[in-house]
Amino acid sequence: MKEFPTDFIWGSATSSYQIEGAAEEDGKGPSIWDAFSHIPGRVKNNEHGDVACDHYHRMEEDVQMMKALGLHAYRFSISWPRILPDGTTKQINQAGIDFYNRLINELLANGIEPWITLYHWDLPLALEMEKDGWLNKDIADSFADYARVCFQYFGDRVKNWITINEPWVISMLGYGQGIFAPGRVSNSEPYLAGHHIILAHAKAAAVYREEFAHQGGKIGITNNCDWREPLTDSELDQAAAQRALEFYLAWFTDPIYKGSYPQVMVDRLGDRLPTFTAEEKLLVQGSSDFFGLNHYTTMLASDANGEILEGNVYGNGGISEDQDVNLHVDPTWKKTEMGWAIVPWGCQKLLEWIHHRYDGPNIVITENGGAFPDEMKDGVVDDQDRLAYVKGYLGACHDAMENGVQLKGYMLWSLMDNFEWASGYAKRFGIHYVDFETLKRTPKASALWYREVIRRNGLKV
């Protein structure tokens, strides 16, 4: 048995746009994902989150599902425009406040700790149309104002706050490759958006620490990162893998833990990478109480030497050239339905890389999981592939902890099948199966297994 510490936090995660539905109900304003998903061609089969899992109307049932699992923690996000319909505090939507109050109270009444993400990509559309969203520095203040509203209304009961989910995805997929909202394609905007994301996070954290210290909670940010394994042990490939990790994760975590961007980004990006003033550096450094990490996969990195090869995972767009790295997947590795390779040892290596680079921070894995081609047969979904994925990654977490990594919790993505962004409903990440016709939820084999892992506080090996 691989046993976990007695205070280890076992959780599961979702996000507002992916599960709530009720897109135009009870005074909610539109978000960039409402708009983006309704542009023909942006999402597979032109699907959208208008109804999604209808969690907005099935919240009590969903909390019972979490209780049956024995979850310690539930990570969900607040839809910014459900609370502030135009993104500003001009109007606070009481019905939105009421919904999240009911959810929080229901969780606590069932012994489940709420972990709230303030921003999981559903930016109020008005801020995009009128202010250019994350490209405008003013967004940092808008976000801090929104965060303050959340601390005011929910902070008496909520003690775990995640400001922003996955700055890399917001910047690179939203402003670089354009495959996520707001759908822009550029090789400079990602770095501007990323800069404002860091400032927004830091301002919200400062509001929490300065005005709400008496609430006694913790606030941090969640970044995503894959592992980058050098293709060969040549010095050039080793340096390429390191550079790829710096362009992915250290882009956001170096400013927060060290006060500045990685030197390699400064050198390679020139004036496309904004700079922090002395005052901003102080605001940003030390602004996260824990290291939130979403991790799914691993790629092989090799030095590109100016030549981006056919088949590079990120194509010829800015990402590959900027870091001068070729990324590939070993053809012998098994993959999930997203095409993401299943490499548990990459998870261990990444955790140890973070541990060493940032002096042993408290890490929480706020997402890990996989999409698999689930089939419901006689009322049962026997997702042995997902179960094996999670078992492998949890084993890797345990090994990293034995090597000193301060991992404090693990949240499985996702509690239930949901709207998988540009992939629509075709990609299922849930440990509960959702029938999108009837919206009925059914625990998969992985859910029944995860319940036992939580109950035993460990993995049978």
Active-site amino acid positions: 166, 367
Could you tell me how many residues of this chain bind ligand PNW (CB under 6 A)? 11
The mark string for 208-227 relative to ligand PNW (x by CB under 6 A, - otherwise) is ----------------x---
Site membership for ligand PNW, residue 417 (CB under 6 A): no
294 is a contact residue toward ligand PNW (CB under 6 A): yes
Least spacing, CB of residue 49 vs ligand PNW, in Å: 11
Which lies closer to ligand PNW via its Cβ, residue 166 or residue 254?
Answer: 166
Site for ligand PNW in 419-458 (CB under 6 A): 420, 429
The string of DSSP letters for 319-384 reads: HHHHHTEEEE--TTS-B-TTS-B--HHHHHHHHHHHHHHTTS--EEEEE---------BTTB---H
Judged by CB under 6 A, does residue 20 bind ligand PNW? no
Min dist CB 147 to ligand PNW, Å, is 19
Pattern of binders to ligand PNW over 319-358, x per CB under 6 A? ----------------------------------------
Report the C-alpha gap between 298 and 347 in whole angstroms.
Answer: 8
Interaction of residue 15 with ligand PNW, rule CB under 6 A: yes
Give the number of other CB atoms < 10 A from CB of residue 456: 13
Residues 411, 68: Cα–Cα separation, whole Å:
16
Q: By CB neighbour count within 10 A (0-12 exposed, 13-18 middle, 19+ buried), where does 316 fall?
A: exposed
Residues whose CB is less than 8 angstroms from the CB of residue 34 and which lie 6 or more positions away in sequence, other chains included: 17, 23, 48, 49, 50, 122, 125
Asked if residue 414 lies in contact with residue 13, where contact means CB atoms within 8 angstroms, the answer is yes
The answer to whether 367 contacts ligand PNW (rule: CB under 6 A) is yes
Nearest of 148, 62, 154 to residue 116 by alpha carbon: 154
- Using the minimum distance from each CB to ligand PNW, give the nearer residue, 327 or 407: 327
Are residues 375 and 381 in contact, defined by beta-carbon separation less than 8 angstroms? Answer: yes
- The least CB distance from residue 322 to ligand PNW, in Å, is 16
Enumerate residues 154-173 that contact ligand PNW by CB under 6 A.
165-166, 169
142 contacts ligand PNW (rule: CB under 6 A): no
Q: Which is nearer to ligand PNW, 161 or 429 (CB)?
A: 429
- The kind and range of the H/E element at 69 are helix 55-69
Alpha carbons 355 and 361: distance in angstroms, whole number: 6
Binding site for ligand PNW (CB under 6 A): 15, 18, 165-166, 169, 224, 294, 367, 413, 420, 429
